[in-house]
Amino acid sequence: MEKRKVRVKRRRRVEKVAEPSLLARIEFSGAGLAALVVAILILVLPLMMGHRTPATLTATGLMLTFGAALALLLVGWQGSSMERLALPSRGWWWVFGLLTGLVFLQVLPLRFLAAVFGPYPDALWQHPNFDPLHWSPNPGATLRAWAVFAALFTIAWIVARLRPATRGWLWLAIVAMALFQGLYGLISHASGATTIFGFWERHNVDFVHGSFSNRNLFAGYLALTWPLVVAVWWLRDMPLLSRLPSEMRIAGSVISGAIIGAALMGSASRLGTTAGVIGMLVALLLWTRYRGHLKGGAVWPAWAAAFAAFLFATWYGLAPLTERLAITTIEEEGRFQVFALMFADFPLGWWLSGVGLGAFEAVFKQIQPGDLGGWWDYAHNDLLQWVLETGLVGIAVLGLVLAGIVRNAAIRLERIPLYAGLSALVVVGLGDFSWHIPATQVVLAIFLGVILQPPPRRKNPPVNDKSLHRRRRRRSPEFFASENTGFK
């Protein structure tokens, strides 16, 4: 018996030594290196948003595009692991093909396309020096928008096909950046800092906004990532976290959720805070409603994190947010004026055919009245802007994406925070433009890539299965003891 125990210990020791480490898999796997590139994008892009200007947006867009291209090249290298990612399914190619075909037509230098579909008023056609050649009034912006779409499509596909253990490092990168944004925003606001990283001026010194120059964009980013910050501590096979004691995971989940909640509410962003609360409510609903599929310890910490967030935010100060909510009126909101102008002054044909991907600013300047000031490069409603720019083709793309989400819907512990974060960002998109910001886009693409994939099969049946409990009880020693003694 003793010799057998020694042999078993030696065998386990040899297997442990022979088992390749995660660093080795990343070093010799193209998919692992691609995941590393995506992680760098997750960690760097939010740090570049301290000054939202055309130059900054161009720089972040270029970094996102080149990063996705590099990840795509790395995926083609199998390495020593001989790992090859499966190609996108037919539905993915339909989405890519439809939007790419539309953009190709919008930038073709053909005058008859500009005459039939171009968003040009009749007064411009009567001008002797006006002779457009493109469907889109800004072909450069259309090509840039398509390049970003192709980059996000590539990232979504790569992440969706990664191994769960490798994808876990991306969840950690997202959570790390979200916590950094929350902590940096709270500390900067408490210390009265006037700059971001010492480079850019803090325009909203009275509110929390992390390294984002715009507190609404900051709030949208936190609303998207808040459920994941709470849930990451309970994901199975999560690197660095899955082996922690339950007490430490509970504390980490509660404290992390409280930090994000306090920073979100300290931003005083009305829409972002509302979206964040809605996202957490969706997460709590899914965690509680389907607790039979989950371990009990993964349910109540979410409630504790939500309560701690509201408690911490109340202590930190909710007065700015409540004051802004109290004075909110439709007349004072410029975005509602923009919506009204879009419906009143844009012909129906523009909504059906689309004015050109990324061409909203060029089209809106044709109808922007003099009393409406500001730089309206976005419609502050991502859904309306998408439909206006892409028309019926864009609606078809949205339909395909929604159909894929519904068809592959499943309650898994990894997917619950993704559904919740996506719900929050949908609310943000109804009154802001976070869907156009690369720092948020890369996280959104990762979320969509995972939930658009068919769910993995469960290794174990649900724990609330009564028949399973009955079978387990019959196999237990206590049951046999009760059978033999007559006590049941």
* CA–CA gap between residue 456 and residue 460 (Å, rounded): 12
Please answer whether residues 80 and 72 qualify as being in contact, where contact means their C-beta atoms are separated by less than 8 angstroms. no
- Per-residue pLDDT reduced to its tens digit, 60-119: 999 999 999 999 998 877 654 556 778 888 999 999 999 999 999 999 999 889 888 988
Which pair of structure tokens corresponds to residue 264?
A: 């979100």
* Phi, psi for 187 (deg, rounded to 5): -70, -40
Alpha helices in 408-436 (DSSP H): 416-429
Question: Which stretches of the chain drop beneath a pLDDT of 50?
Answer: 5-6, 8, 11-27, 80, 296, 325-327, 329-332, 461-469, 471-473, 476-488
Check the CA dihedral 433-439-442-448 and report its sign: negative
Locate tokens 């876990």: which residue?
A: 168
What's residue 290's pLDDT?
Answer: 62
Give how far Cα 148 sits from Cα of 62, 87, 225, 395, Å: 8, 20, 21, 19
| 3-class DSSP assignment, residue 195 | strand
What's residue 172's pLDDT?
Answer: 95
- Give the percent of the chain with pLDDT over 70: 77
Which pair of structure tokens corresponds to residue 297?
A: 């310890």
What's residue 248's pLDDT?
Answer: 87
Which pair of structure tokens corresponds to residue 474?
A: 């019959």
Q: Taking each helix axis from N to C terminus, what angle separates 382-407 and 438-451, rounded to the nearest 10 degrees?
A: 20
DSSP letter at 20 equals: P
What's residue 305's pLDDT?
Answer: 63
Alpha helices in 245-359 (DSSP H): 246-266, 270-289, 300-316, 319-326, 334-345, 348-353
Largest CA distance in the chain: 104
What's residue 389's pLDDT?
Answer: 94
Short-list 335, 290, 308, CA closest to 433: 335
* CA–CA gap between residue 171 and residue 431 (Å, rounded): 27
Give how far Cα 198 sits from Cα of 188, 263, 439, Å: 11, 20, 20
* CA–CA gap between residue 88 and residue 72 (Å, rounded): 13
DSSP letter at 182 equals: H
Q: Which H or E element spans position 394? A: helix 382-407
Locate tokens 């760097």: which residue?
A: 44
Residue 197's CB is within 10 A of a number of other CB atoms, namely: 11
Residue 403's CB is within 10 A of a number of other CB atoms, namely: 12
* CA–CA gap between residue 133 and residue 333 (Å, rounded): 36
* CA–CA gap between residue 484 and residue 476 (Å, rounded): 13
DSSP letter at 88 equals: P
In the chain, where the domains are located: 89-138+187-451
DSSP letter at 431 equals: T
